[in-house]
């Protein structure tokens, strides 16, 4: 808690990566479904200062100690930042060091995050050079703890090392994230589409994917399909 009684220190400084105006960022199209005067910053949680609280400090300390051993990159090199947001611990990992960090979290007896609960993709088109994120929620059955790994890569080079060899349960989840967001998981044994047809073009959960739709008639007016009347800014 801060001296004034708030808990803003838990989240650290937020990083503003863009501004959105009205619903879906509509501008000059005549579409009144969004409130055009609404201005909202697009922000992400910044690095959280210590103490993180609860067992979060212990997890970070144990990981830092394990990464300091010979043959490992070291925590300062492997981790971009540590974020505590809404009572959840997220370790932002540099892509090339993801397998090492995941292996340490799985194998170290004091950590023992044995289970990966999946892989999720996120698209932040406003975060230049870090547009695509992949998140991995991990569970320690031994210690009944959770932690999340997050990796950010550029849209122009969306490559992240696969964790299939470390967490085989990532198999279908990495395929789904590739299918919907276009993130390429290097080393995956069969990185093919899993939901969309093999010949589908594009990745449907990206924010720059066309909304599609068909025009409709309503009370004598012709309403254009969404991708012709709304746009992302």
Q: Where are the domains of the chain?
A: 47-229
DSSP H helical ranges for 79-196: 98-107, 170-181
Peptide bond into 51 cis (omega under 30): yes
pLDDT at 37 (0 to 100): 62
Q: Tens digit of pLDDT per residue, the chain (233 long)? A: 333 333 433 345 788 888 876 554 555 555 555 555 667 788 888 899 999 999 999 999 999 999 998 889 999 999 999 999 999 999 999 999 999 999 999 999 999 999 999 999 999 998 999 999 999 999 999 999 999 999 999 999 999 999 999 999 999 999 999 999 999 999 999 999 999 999 999 999 998 887 777 778 777 777 777 666 554 44
Task: Please give the angle made by the CA atoms of 91, 97 and 102, to the nearest 5 degrees.
Answer: 60
Report pLDDT for 18.
83
Query: For residue 57, what pLDDT is reported?
Result: 97
pLDDT of residue 228: 65
pLDDT at 11: 43
Look at residue 232 in the predicted model and tell me its pLDDT. 43
CATH of domain 47-229: 3.30.460.80
Give the pLDDT confidence score for residue 99 in this predicted structure: 97
Whether 67 contacts 101, CB under 8 Å: yes
């Amino acid at each position: 808690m801060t001296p004034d009684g708030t808990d803003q220190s838990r989240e650290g400084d937020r990083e503003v990566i863009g501004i959105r105006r009205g619903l879906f960022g509509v501008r000059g199209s005549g579409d009144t479904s969004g409130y055009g005067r609404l201005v909202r910053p697009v922000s992400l949680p910044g690095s959280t200062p210590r103490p993180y609280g609860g067992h979060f400090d212990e997890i970070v300390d144990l990981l830092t100690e394990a990464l300091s051993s010979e043959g490992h990159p070291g925590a300062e090199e492997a981790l971009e930042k540590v974020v505590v947001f809404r009572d959840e611990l997220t370790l932002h990992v540099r892509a090339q060091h993801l397998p090492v960090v995941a292996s340490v979290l799985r194998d170290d007896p004091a950590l023992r995050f044995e289970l990966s609960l999946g892989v999720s993709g996120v698209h932040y088109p406003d975060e230049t050079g870090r547009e695509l994120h992949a998140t991995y929620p991990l569970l320690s059955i031994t210690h009944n703890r959770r932690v999340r790994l997050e990796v950010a890569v550029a849209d122009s080079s969306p490559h992240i090392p696969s964790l299939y060899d470390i967490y085989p349960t990532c198999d279908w989840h990495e395929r789904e994230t590739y299918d919907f967001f276009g993130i390429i998981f290097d080393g995956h044994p069969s990185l093919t589409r899993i939901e969309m047809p093999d010949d589908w073009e594009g990745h449907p959960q990206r924010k720059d994917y066309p909304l599609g739709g068909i025009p409709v008639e309503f009370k004598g007016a012709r309403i254009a399909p969404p991708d012709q009347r709304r746009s992302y800014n």
